[in-house]
C-alpha cells in the first residue's frame, strides 16, 4: 500500500488544489460540475498535463520537477462510467488483457478477480451479452487484476440502473478495502459507503476536508449543505454559542469549540428540525425567527418549505392546516440542541 499526493494548478480551468490519500484509504471528491474533479483524476492518471502538477505515489514521483511519467507506467487504474470493454474479447480475455500486456500468459488471476466481483459465470461471454451492471463488474475486475498502486474512480455507478447500484456499491466496498483510492461522485451514499475521507471541491479549490460522515453531516459549504440536505447558515458570532445572520436573525446552538465574538461562524441544522407556525410560539427555550414562505414542494407524505432562505420539512396535513403558500408570513422555531455551530 502506498500514499498518494497530488497538487494540480490549471489556470485555464480555474483549478488550484491539492489532495492527499493515506495508504489503503479511500478519498471521495464531491463538487458541482466544472469544479475540477475530473481534471485532478486525469492529471493523476497522466492523461492531462496542466500548467503545474506534482503527483507522488509512495516514493515514486510521477509528475513535477521536470518529470512526467507516461500513463501506462504509473501503476494507476482509472475507471469511469463507461466500462469500455473490448467487444471482440470474452469477459475473461478482457480481464486478462492488462496482465498479458505485462507479459503474463496465466489467466488464473483474471479468474480470481472475476470470482471476487461475482462475475465468474460470465467468463466466456462477450460484452454485448452483459447488462450495464454486469459489464461494470467486469471493468472493476479488469482494473484491479493488474494490482495498481492507486485506483481512480470517476462516477463509476452513475450510468447504472437504480436496481444495480446497491450491489455494485457492495462489490466496490469489498474490493477497495485497503487500496489507495480516489472516488469522484455526486452521490453522498457512495461517499458514506466507500470513503474514509471526503473533500468538497468548489471553483477549483478544496473547501472542506475531513472524515466522510463528519463532512457530509456537518457541511461548511453551500454545495455540501445541498448535498446533505441540510440548512447551512453563515453569519458572525455574537457569543460563544450564538451567531447573527446578515439580515439580523440570530441562532443559538451547540458549538464543539466556543465561538469567538466577531469572527465568522456557520450553523447547520436539518429541515426536519424546523417547525413552522402561523403565530409566534411560546413554551420551551428555542430559536424563534420570522420568515416569509418562498416555495412549497410536495415530497411524498411531506412538504419541503423554503422560507426566507431556510428549509423546513412538515407533513402535508400541517402544510394544509397552516395554509402555507408563497408570500405567507410565518414563524420558524428550531431547538438549540438541533443546531450545530462551527467557526469559519
Pairs from 82-87 (Cβ < 8 Å, separation ≥ 24):
82/159, 83/127, 83/132, 83/135, 83/136, 83/138, 83/139, 84/139, 85/127, 85/130, 85/135, 85/138, 85/139, 85/142, 86/127, 87/126, 87/127, 87/128
Residue range 49-69: mean pLDDT, rounded: 96
* Average pLDDT in the chain: 90
Specify whether the backbone of 134 is left (phi greater than 0), alpha (psi in -120 to 50) or beta: alpha
Domain range summary for the chain, segments of one domain joined by +: 4-224, 232-343
Would you identify the CATH topology of the domain 232-343? OB fold (Dihydrolipoamide Acetyltransferase, E2P) (2.40.50)
What pLDDT is attached to residue 158? 86
Q: How does pLDDT run across 173-199, given as a tens digit for each residue?
A: 999 988 999 999 988 878 888 999 999
The CATH code that applies to domain 4-224 is 3.40.50.300
What pLDDT is attached to residue 94? 95
What pLDDT is attached to residue 23? 96
Q: How does pLDDT run across 110-164, given as a tens digit for each residue?
A: 999 999 999 999 999 999 999 999 999 999 999 999 999 999 999 998 888 877 8
What pLDDT is attached to residue 166? 80
**Whole-prediction pTM:** 0.75
- Residue 16 pLDDT > 90: yes
- Residue 103 pLDDT > 80: no
What pLDDT is attached to residue 342? 81
Under the banding of pLDDT at 50, 70 and 90, the label for residue 219 is confident
Under the banding of pLDDT at 50, 70 and 90, the label for residue 284 is low
Q: Is 111 exposed, middle or buried (0-12, 13-18, 19+ CB in 10 A)?
A: middle
Nearest to 310 by CA among 293, 328, 329: 293
Under the banding of pLDDT at 50, 70 and 90, the label for residue 97 is very high
330: Cα separation from own chain's centroid: 34
What pLDDT is attached to residue 45? 97
C-alpha cell at 201: 471541491
Amino acid at each position: 500500500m502506498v500514499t498518494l499526493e497530488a497538487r494540480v494548478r490549471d489556470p485555464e480551468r480555474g483549478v488550484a488544489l491539492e489532495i492527499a490519500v493515506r495508504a489503503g484509504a479511500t478519498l471521495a471528491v464531491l463538487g458541482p460540475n466544472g469544479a475540477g474533479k475530473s481534471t485532478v483524476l486525469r492529471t493523476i492518471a497522466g492523461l492531462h498535463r496542466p500548467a503545474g502538477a506534482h503527483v507522488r505515489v509512495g516514493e515514486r514521483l510521477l509528475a513535477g520537477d521536470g518529470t512526467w511519467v507516461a500513463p501506462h507506467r504509473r501503476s494507476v487504474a482509472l475507471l469511469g462510467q463507461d466500462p469500455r470493454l473490448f467487444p471482440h474479447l470474452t469477459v475473461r480475455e478482457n480481464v486478462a488483457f492488462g496482465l498479458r500486456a505485462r507479459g503474463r500468459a496465466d489467466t488464473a488471476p483474471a479468474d480470481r478477480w472475476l470470482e471476487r466481483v461475482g462475475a465468474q459465470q460470465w467468463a466466456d461471454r462477450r460484452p454485448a451479452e452483459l447488462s450495464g451492471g454486469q459489464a461494470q463488474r467486469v471493468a472493476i475486475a479488469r482494473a484491479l487484476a493488474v494490482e495498481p498502486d492507486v485506483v481512480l474512480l470517476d462516477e463509476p455507478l452513475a450510468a447504472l440502473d437504480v436496481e444495480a447500484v446497491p450491489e455494485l456499491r457492495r462489490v466496490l466496498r469489498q474490493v477497495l478495502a485497503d487500496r489507495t483510492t480516489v472516488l469522484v461522485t455526486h452521490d453522498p451514499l457512495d461517499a458514506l459507503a466507500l470513503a474514509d475521507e471526503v473533500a468538497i471541491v468548489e471553483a477549483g479549490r478544496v473547501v472542506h476536508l475531513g472524515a466522510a460522515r463528519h463532512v457530509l453531516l456537518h457541511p461548511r459549504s453551500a454545495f455540501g449543505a445541498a448535498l446533505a440536505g441540510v440548512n447551512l447558515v453563515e453569519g458572525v458570532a455574537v457569543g460563544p454559542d450564538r451567531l447573527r445572520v446578515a439580515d439580523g436573525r440570530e441562532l443559538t446552538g451547540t458549538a464543539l469549540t466556543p465561538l469567538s465574538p466577531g469572527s465568522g461562524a456557520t450553523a447547520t441544522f436539518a429541515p426536519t428540525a424546523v417547525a413552522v407556525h402561523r403565530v409566534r410560539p411560546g413554551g420551551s427555550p428555542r430559536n424563534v425567527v420570522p420568515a416569509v414562505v418562498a416555495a412549497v414542494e410536495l415530497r411524498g407524505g411531506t412538504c419541503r418549505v423554503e422560507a426566507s432562505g431556510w428549509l423546513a420539512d412538515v407533513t402535508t396535513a400541517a402544510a394544509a392546516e397552516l395554509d402555507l403558500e408563497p408570500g405567507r408570513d410565518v414563524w420558524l422555531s428550531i431547538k438549540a440542541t438541533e443546531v450545530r455551530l462551527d467557526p469559519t
